[in-house]
Structure formats: structure tokens, C-alpha cells
Structure 1
């Protein structure tokens, strides 16, 4: 079958705000060479997807509401898989390849159905469920881990952001079916340097999900240590998640309200302006794929300090295109924030970072790589 004749399907779990931009990017990539693209998804982004003027794209919505109660959540998860599976059967004559995107690689029933329908299956894996579950151990998450392992065995290809993740996520047994690619590309007319570092206030930021695996609590706990050395600093925490209440309590308990701003969710269209106010972005994650905000910060001329996880070391070279810290303990974060801010060539590092993302993270390069992956099925 010729590449241009392939009809490609994309499956995601219902997505929240954080998943919308990666999905929009991925749809744009796949649509550039798929004859028809079928998207099965749901959640907050469905209305945005409907307003997009995609050519030859068919959108199929999966209703789903998140519930914290474990029994209700389990039932809803099973019903969601049944609904997705029915869509797969309905589209059996229309789709040649199914790509399970974002966190959908634990959807066991739809994968089994796709396999029975003799369809090619690709997992585009942005995060390890096993690693994420280590920070939040529940019966529900344990079931997802088993589903993830079964699905990896059933897959035709597993696509990761970096070869570093093969060992980091314990995927060595699947190395023969693993390929490296990403959906990341930037609009450099939006993500640009609007304000030089020398013109910015001493504002250090974290932008991301407020959850255990992101290490955000360790960043918050590092703030008092940073202020002991640099009392001229202020901090911004952008994002939302289950740890917000705990973070608010810590900030109030340490009398940091005048030093720390909790910005909540930052709309993507406001992110370039926000990043141009920061002098340093800190990403203290326990586990990562390839964080969008890292690339967006670099495009805005904002240095990034991050842990060496996932695809981060492929992009950040310490002292050249950013800063790497040994671990994400509060002490290590504090020490490295001060090291980064005191670096004599911070402007040069910011320029190097901008040049790197301009070279490597374009729409054309992302399309070229995904076209190659689909041609090798």
C-alpha cells in the first residue's frame, strides 16, 4: 500500500487542557500525509477540535467524566474502552493504522479489538504509566501498568521521544520495535524573545501539572533555601493539579505569599508573554518524555534548569543550552538555581538554546520523521 493511500486513526483518552496542544500538533503532522484521518477522543478539547478547519479529518467523540471515587472511576474507564472499541469496529474498513497517542497505551480492550481486526498498531508514548504510578500507588494504577505491558507486546511499533527512555522506562525487551520521534514543533513567530534577560526581574518559574511525578513540591520546598542566598528573588508557579492545596498550605505556612505567585492554569496563547517575564524555568521532574514548556522557554530566550530525565539531556547540555541538576531534592534545586542565575554567560546560553530549537523543532522535521515511521510498518 502506498503511503499516500493510508488512512490513519488516532486514539486518545479524553484529554484535558494540557493534552490539547500536543494533540493539535500531532493531528497536523499526520494530516499532512494521510489520505483520511480519524480521531477518537473526548474531554475538554473536543470543542476546540471541532472548530479547526482540518481537511479530510473525521472526529468521533467519546463522552467521559473524571471521578475520584475508585469504583466509579473504574466503571467509567471500562465504559470508555467499550465505546472506543465500538468505534474501532465501525471504522474497520476505513482505517489502516491505529496510533494510540498520549496516555492511551493502557487501553487494553481497544488494542485487542484493533489486533483482532488485523490493523497495525503504534503507541506514541509520552509518559511511562509505570513511572508515574510509582508516585501515586493505587489499585487502579496497578491495573494500568499491567495493561501497558500487555499492549506493548501486542504493538507493531512503540514510538518514544528519546532513546534514553528505553532504559529509563525499562523497555529493553521491546527494543526491536522501538523508534524515536516526536510531535513537537514551535511557532517561532509566537514563541520569540520579546524581552532580554537583562531587562527581566529576578523571577524564577515552574510551569506544568501540579502532580507528584513533576517534582513541583520539591521546587516549592527549595524556595526558602534559595531566599537565604538571594532574597531578591521571586517565584511563579503556573499550572493546576491535585497538589495545589498542599502547595498553598506550604507557602502560607512559610510566610512566602509575598514571594510566590500561584498563577493557576496559563492559557497557551498567554504562555509566550509569561515566559518572557521569567529569568529561569525549573523542571524538577522525576520522569519526563520531552516537555513542551522546556522547548517553548528556550524559544523565548529563557534558560531552563531540569533533571536529566527522558529526552531532556538530548536538548539541554549543561552550561551550553541550559542547566542540568543531579537530582530533584530541594537542596539540589536550590543550589542549582543559584548556580544558573550567577552564570557569567546566561545571555549566551539563552541564545544557544533558541538557535537549537529553531534548528531541530520545526513542523517539517516532525513530518519527515513520522512519514518515515509509517513507511516502515
Structure 2
């Protein structure tokens, strides 16, 4: 395949977006002639010194951090104008663009790329419309039609699982959809180092402290879990807009001795924590294919998760993990207790680990994207 000059565009990302973006960058850099990355905030800080690519900084406050909605909308539009200008400036240096995190609602950059006759691959990292829907946000009615326009204008849409076509209401675009997880793991880093029988009853959550992740429901399930399992402890790793609310709940319910809240850890430190946990909980309202799930499974840590996004493709209940019927506090508590009492938990751990090792190598991820780019 003749190598192409590829641009990657994301909305300015927070720390939680660095690993998904890093995976995509690694893949693209291995198959492109030259790589250009337009991003901002933590994303730009993460890649600005990466010699494999040219990084361009465009910053913007995140919607949930904006105190004035109208001010954020103005900033959002000006950010898109800056992105569009950068795409135009790179016109002679790019053959195609990959729109990634937030790409489905970056309408002005999409119009610019198409006016410049560039091919555009729209890779869904998650669904902003589903997140807004779960929050009952007024922005849903604005963002949803924009996302639909971008889906129509793109040349190829990449999803992590065929399940997402129906979940995210993308049936109208099925003819241009490819299924290609960009996920891969370094199995020298994310590996099984401690038997479950040697681990304490420590249940963990790793991710954004935000509504769509269902973390409040998880925290509210803790008192019920402790009624049945008083020896269980909990570790919450991450940060976000709900941090204060979570801390207040923990204090109000006298859970400080049972719940540890820890800020983001370095990605290379995460295997240590995953190998300390008996279970990882993913109580999300919406997901794509969560990296954390794969990383936990690779470390032999069983995952308890909602049946959203690509999760049920890889977690079969009581075989390779545990699926919750919903993410209500009662259901989360019941699911965690059942998982902790599972007699074959070691076998669940082993089956999950083998599944991930077989399907998420770097070579397989590159192969999937090479095929898409070759046939666009």
C-alpha cells in the first residue's frame, strides 16, 4: 500500500482521552508517510514533543467546565474556525483526515475538509449524543443533527462493534460503516502478576467522575455492599466534575475508612493497581470500547459492567466477566456481591485474559486500519 499523509483531528481532550488517542496515533504513524495532529488541552501537552508527528495546538474549555453556556458556545464555534483554518493550511500536506474524539460534532472542520476534496474517516471514540441524552442535556437537540450531518459527509465511519450501529442509531449509514477496534495493549506492561486468591476484597473504579460513567450510582451502592460484605474496600481513581459530590457522599455516610479516592495515576502505574483489585466496575450509561476493560482483563481482574457499547462483545456473563442488568445502585450492589461470591472467579479471570491476548495485539490493530485506508 502506498503510504499517505494523514491528519488526525480531535476536539481538545482531557487527560482521559490521552490513551485512546495515543493508540490511534501509534497505528497511524506506523502506516502513514507523514502524520499531522490537531488537538488541544491535555492532548496537545501529551503529543507536542512526539517526533513521529507534527502537532498543532488549539485549546478550548470543556463543556462541563464552562460556567456560562453562551460563552462556551461562542468558544466552541471559534475553536472550530481555528481548526478549519489549520486544515486549510495543511491542505497540500494531507491526503485524508481522521476525525476522532468529538469528531462527529465538528461540523465546520468537516465542511472544510470536504470542500478541499479530502477523504474523511470518522472514528467514533464514544457517542456524545448518547452522553448528552443520558444527562438530559438541552444541547442534545443541537448536537444530534450536527452529528448526523457529519456522518453523512464522511467517507467512512469506524465503530468498535456492530452492536453500536443499533445502539447509536446509525443504521442509515450502514453502507459506509467499518468495524475496527483501534485498541491494542502492551502485554509486557498489562499482565497478570498476582493471583486473585492473594488479592484483598478491593473493588475499583478507574475513569472520569462524570454522570455518563455512572459513578454516582456505584458510590451509592457501597453501603448496600458493605451490609453483605463488610470486609470489602473500594478504590476510586480519576477526577472530574462529580468529585466534590462523591467526597461529600463518602463523608456523610461515614465511608472514609472504606473508600479511597485517588487522582489520576500514570498509565504505566495502572497495572500495579489493577493487579491489586479483586474486581473492576464499569457502571456506564454509554461506552464505546473502554480501554480500562481490556487492561483489567489482561491483568486478570474480572470486570463487572453494564451491557453498553462493545462491552457485551467481550464480556459474557460469568464466563469472561459479569454483566449488570442496569446501573441502578441496587443492581450494582447485587452484581458486585454475586461476582465476589462466584466460585469460578479464577477461571473467569483466565478466560478473559486469554481472550484479550488473542484479539488486541498491535499487529491486529494496524491490519484493520490498513485495510480501511487502502479501500477508502
Helix, strand or coil for the counterpart of 2:265? coil
Is residue 133–residue 142 contact of structure 1 (8 Å, CA) maintained in 2?
Answer: no
Helix, strand or coil for the counterpart of 2:174? helix
CA distance in 1, matches of 2:150, 2:117: 15
* TM superposition shift of 1:345: 1.2
CA distance in 1, matches of 2:125, 2:173: 16
Q: Which residue of 1 aligns with 2:117?
A: 118
Q: Which residue of 2 aligns with 1:162?
A: 161
**Is the counterpart of residue 59 in structure 1 residue 58 in structure 2?**
no
* Superposition RMSD in Å: 1.3
CA distance in 2, matches of 1:155, 1:45: 23
* TM superposition shift of 1:45: 3.0
* TM superposition shift of 1:145: 2.1
* TM superposition shift of 1:105: 1.5
Is residue 132–residue 139 contact of structure 2 (8 Å, CA) maintained in 1?
Answer: no
CA distance in 2, matches of 1:279, 1:246: 26
Q: Deviation digits for residues 301-345 of structure 1, max 9, x if unmatched? A: 100011111110111111111111111111111111111111111
CA distance in 2, matches of 1:63, 1:321: 40
Alignment of 1:268-279 (within 5 A): 268-279=267-278
Is residue 303–residue 322 contact of structure 1 (8 Å, CA) maintained in 2?
Answer: yes
* TM superposition shift of 1:227: 0.8
Would you say how many aligned residue pairs link Structure 1 and Structure 2?
373
Q: Deviation digits for residues 169-212 of structure 1, max 9, x if unmatched? A: 11111111111112211111111112111111110011111111
Alignment of 1:297-376 (within 5 A): 297-376=296-375
Normalising by structure 1, we get a TM-score of 0.96
Q: Which residue of 2 aligns with 1:216?
A: 215
Is residue 307–residue 324 contact of structure 2 (8 Å, CA) maintained in 1?
Answer: yes
Helix, strand or coil for the counterpart of 1:59? strand
* TM superposition shift of 1:141: 4.5
Normalising by structure 2, we get a TM-score of 0.96
Helix, strand or coil for the counterpart of 1:239? strand
Q: Which residue of 2 aligns with 1:35?
A: 33
Question: Which 10-residue stretch deviates more, 260-269 or 335-344?
Answer: 260-269
CA distance in 1, matches of 2:266, 2:3: 37
Helix, strand or coil for the counterpart of 1:314? helix
In structure 1, runs of 5+ residues without a counterpart are none
Is residue 133–residue 140 contact of structure 2 (8 Å, CA) maintained in 1?
Answer: no
* TM superposition shift of 1:64: 2.8
Q: Deviation digits for residues 227-259 of structure 1, max 9, x if unmatched? A: 111111111111111111111121112111111
CA distance in 2, matches of 1:105, 1:261: 36
CA distance in 2, matches of 1:147, 1:174: 15
* TM superposition shift of 1:32: 1.2
Q: Which ranges of 4 or more aligned residues in structure 1 deviate by more than 4 Å? A: none
Is residue 275–residue 300 contact of structure 1 (8 Å, CA) maintained in 2?
Answer: yes
Helix, strand or coil for the counterpart of 2:165? helix
CA distance in 2, matches of 1:15, 1:337: 32
Is residue 44–residue 56 contact of structure 2 (8 Å, CA) maintained in 1?
Answer: no
Q: Deviation digits for residues 26-49 of structure 1, max 9, x if unmatched? A: 111011111111111111132331
Helix, strand or coil for the counterpart of 2:257? coil
